Amino acid sequence: MGLNNQWMQRDLAVLWHPCTQMKDHEQLPLIPIKRGEGVWLEDFEGKRYLDAVSSWWVNVFGHANPRINQRIKDQVDQLEHVILAGFSHQPVIELSERLVKMTPEGLTRCFYADNGSSCIEVAMKMSFHYWINRGRPDKKRFVTLSNSYHGETIAAMSVGDVPLFTETYKALLLDTIKVPSPDCYHRPEGMGWEEHSRNLFAAMEQTLAEHHDTVAAVIVEPLIQGAGGMRMYHPVYLKLLREACDRYGVHLIHDEIAVGFGRTGTMFACEQAGITPDFLCLSKALTGGYLPLAACLTTDEVYNAFYDDYPTLRAFLHSHSYTGNPLACAAALATLDIFEEDNVIENNQALAQRMASATAHLADHPNVAEVRQTGMVLAIEMVKDKASKTAYPWQERRGLSVFQHALERGALLRPLGSVVYFLPPYVITPEQIDFLAEVASEGIDIATRDKVSVAVPKDFHPGYRDPG
């Protein structure tokens, strides 16, 4: 028995893995990773895998980055953790100062959580509580886009719309208002992204006109709907939405947990619309992919609605045990140093162009409906019929074929259903991008062959998207 198999058997005896049907591992080997370096992950038998998805979109400057490593090592000898209620520490103060300085003007206060879903819950609770403090307890509903994803805790699921993650738990979810997404995948023939996104805003305008008296906030993933299949839309939608939220007296929450810190081509996606949301949720790349940390930034207007004498009970009584953990803040500070010192956003422009050119040929593939890109995120959508964009039945798990082929070739590509995507660390080289394009092309050829190896129930949950 090889080392990988030994570790796999020990794992399967005690672990329950996230976003996984564990029975899959009766046929699909689990891969134990011993070490990482740069874009590479290495298993216990020495095989390497290029991490094309940044280990669930968190890693930006490579695994075992020496600059981030050193910052954490220095911090651990000083302070590992301290309660953030009534106490503070240098890393969290410095990080907050830098986040306020680098985010859009008007975001002046940082509230910390442990992960992306928790950060969404912070923003939702703050908005809801704000309206209570302002004498508007009737404003308690949230508006969200179809096909959106904001996490897997209860409130975060409530403002999501990917059935695979929400359908089972419908009885637990909040009553939210769903508005059609400005996703440009289904735009009419010959119509550009901007025109389509403008046209789709009419539904949001009508919703806010009818329901603003009972709506606390609108929440969106700006520019890219990640878990919904890397669907993309034009920044004009965000500009129109900010104007409408101002007109109707509704908060705007931007979930930049996946798209913040350079993924869309600018440091934050909201910059491309020239707007400031009322709440900006950040996580994932915030620590360079090292430690759990999330920051919800908001305005003085929101902060001041809670600032009062204690007996008024206006305080925001929300907490996490590891809020503002010094080690995580140290990793975040090192990550921000690299952004400042290495011209990352500018360097990414060349990498994004290489991603586009390396995959351009796939636009002509008979089973590829679209190759789309925003900044350092590129997605390739496989379909059963190209002309009509008829999707493959999700039960066929075409993306799983791409995943398995990529592992054989030494790449970690984890498709979203039938959507193959690149979301690599920013330290990837042009040659490594070419390798990923080659592997993806081979995998797509294999996955789109007519025969599939699984039985497909014809009428079972047709709207589901398998996570790969």
Element (H, E) at 356: helix 344-359
Does residue 284 have a known ligand-binding role? yes
Give me 457's structure tokens: 């129930």
Distance CA 310, CA 331 (A): 35
Query: Which residues, in sequence order, are CB contacts of 159 under 8 Å at separation 6+?
Result: 120, 124, 142, 144, 148, 150, 174, 176, 219
364 is in an annotated binding site: no
Q: Which long-range contacts (CB under 8 A, 24 or more apart) does 237-241 make?
A: 237/182, 237/197, 237/198, 237/200, 237/201, 237/273, 238/269, 238/270, 238/272, 238/273, 238/275, 239/273, 239/274, 239/275, 240/198, 240/201, 240/204, 240/205, 241/201, 241/204
- Please report how many Cα atoms fall inside a 13 Å half-sphere around the Cα of residue 51, on the Cβ side: 24
CA distances to 107, 297, 338, 351, 422 from 345, rounded to whole Å, are 21, 22, 11, 10, 17
- Residue 139 CA, chain-centre distance (Å), reads 27
User: 117 among the known binding-site residues?
Assistant: yes
Residue 320 assigned as binding residue: yes
414 annotated to bind ligand: yes
Buried/exposed 343-353: b ≥16 CB within 10 Å, e otherwise: ebbeebeebbe
For 435, half-sphere exposure in the C-beta direction (CA atoms, 13 angstrom radius) is 18
Q: Is 178 annotated as a binding residue?
A: no
Q: How many CB atoms lie within 10 A of CB 234?
A: 22
What are the phi and psi torsion angles at 36 (to 5°)? Answer: -135, 150
- DSSP code per residue over 242-269: HHHHHHHT-EEEEE-TTTTTTTTSSSSG
* Cα–Cα distance measured from residue 188 to residue 184, given in angstroms and rounded to the nearest whole number: 9
* Cα 234 off chain centre by: 17
Q: Is 143 helix (H, G, I), strand (E, B) or coil?
A: strand
125 marked ligand binding residue: no
The span from the CA of 221 to the CA of 150, in Å, is 8
Instruction: Compute φ and ψ for 254, nearest 5 degrees.
Output: -100, 120
255 appears as a binding residue in the annotation: yes
d(CA 284, CA 303): 24
445 labelled as ligand-binding?
A: no
Q: What is the dihedral of CA 218, 224, 225, 226, to 10 degrees?
A: -130
Closest CA to 465 of 231, 173, 299: 231
Q: Which of 280, 235, 282, 238 is nearest to 258 (CA)?
A: 282
Positive/negative CA dihedral, 263, 112, 110, 328:
negative
Q: Annotated binding site for pyridoxal 5'-phosphate: which residue ranges? A: 116-117, 255, 320-321
Q: Annotated binding site for substrate: which residue ranges? A: 56, 149, 284, 319, 414
Q: Annotated binding site: which residue ranges? A: 56, 116-117, 149, 255, 284, 319-321, 414
